[in-house]
Structure 1
């Protein structure tokens, strides 16, 4: 659980991911951490604190936050952090892990209160930079869940549906406009050749007959209909 622990042996092997802070008669030896490798200490005068430099994580309890745009949300986050200054982490606080947990909860709530709902998931690096101190560096802040009120969910769903409907109507209107331009050009081309108009007329009758499974008969000849159309 913890990132550091006490050692009272006369010799100790410090692992690659650990650093040892040695206190001799209450003072840090050479002012820096030792390791990795074999560590020799004086049994009666030295006290050693081993600090784990690996990345650790903890879950922040669900926080009820009021965002900048006055939306109340519940945020469930996970914080990943590591110790980058072993000496500072030992001499600054009694329990680094406990203090980091409490600091993450309060700082996360304060930071989220200054952001709008749309910006919460896109600004994690800035929030990680805010959660630093006592030799601790927060590497990542991941949101496991962001819960919105039911009324707000319904309002957002209705808004999204309205946007989709408006977009569909715009697309349909653009399609009709393009189709009208194409029909206008086709009519101009057909007006130059009456035979083209007649063939198109017959093709349309054929399509209607095939779809309806019926036969269409016109007692009036097509030439006579064209003569009336010219008049």
Structure 2
């Protein structure tokens, strides 16, 4: 679109994004909502025309003309100062006499005018930082120390420079506060077992808070949950008692099954006296294989040996 024969600047944010950013900025900067809002700023820029045509004042025009004269007089040496390079993963936000000059520049080569232009490079790559351990009182009144790691990146270089002084540091401080707020509503059991849902809740809260800074939180991970030493001992004792109880239950169930099997075997053996005698002999064989010096014969076996005249047979053999 053109207004008065002048081309309007091509801003990346659509009307819906601008409205959302304006609302978020009002919540964060209520004291300066009228003078420092992305929506007002963009609206003001859209009525001033191209970046060369906004009113910079008489002194500004004088400085701009002098800068061009110096560039021409020192050409081609001035190219070393005027030409700048932005990497593929970076964007440059330019200021001319304190005002933003168009949108973000890059990647590639761009030109600045010395003395009147300044620029700031913004890294668009994903950045990580560790949230320091936070002392948190859970919903069930247990004090724990929790730390996390946050992955974020800048999605709009312009508002990341104009809306906040230090976007990475502000994101880090907001992450520490969000971690305390989210975990303060959880019990200890939920913190230990539902880390994934906690990370998703924290990511949503951070992403909503940092959107007006041009920052998008991509991922949050809860790293470690440190419990007090006394609580660790109590939980270890509770776990040990639970394991012992389960072991006793398993042993009792095994004895019950063994008793039933033994009862069934006894019922079968009692129906056949010969089977009982064979069982006695099998037991004696097992005892003899262990090289015991004393062997105790059951009474029915002794009776059977007398009936078979086994002692006389042994004497004849000796």
Could you tell me the TM-score, scaled by structure 1's length? Answer: 0.80
Structure 1 residue 72 and structure 2 residue 151: aligned?
no
Q: Distance in 1 between matches of 2:223 and 2:280?
A: 64
Corresponding residue for 1:191? 270
- With a CA cutoff of 8 Å and minimum separation of 6, indicate the structure with the bigger relative contact order: 1
Alignment counterpart, residue 91 of structure 1, candidates 156, 162, 166 = 162
Corresponding residue for 2:93? 21
**Higher helix share goes to which structure?**
2
Corresponding residue for 1:6? none
Larger Rg: 2
Residues 57-105 of structure 1, C-alpha deviations (whole Å, 9 max, x = no match): 3333331110122110122333332222222211210111221222122
Q: Distance in 2 between matches of 1:178 and 1:221?
A: 29
**Tell me, which stretches of 5 or more residues in structure 2 are unaligned?**
1-80, 305-318
Corresponding residue for 1:173? 252
Corresponding residue for 1:53? 124
Q: Give 1:196 shift.
A: 2.2
Mean CA deviation greater in 207-216 or 128-137:
207-216
Q: Distance in 2 between matches of 1:90 and 1:193?
A: 98
**Higher strand share goes to which structure?**
1
**Structure 1 residues 173, 219: CA separation in 2 closer, same or farther (over 3 Å shift)?**
closer
User: Are 2:92 and 2:104, in contact at CA under 8 Å, matched by a contact in 1?
Assistant: yes
User: Are 2:280 and 2:301, in contact at CA under 8 Å, matched by a contact in 1?
Assistant: no
Q: Distance in 2 between matches of 1:221 and 1:105?
A: 83
User: Are 2:130 and 2:150, in contact at CA under 8 Å, matched by a contact in 1?
Assistant: yes
Q: Give 1:165 shift.
A: 0.5
How many residues align structurally? Answer: 215
Corresponding residue for 2:242? 163
RMSD: 2.6
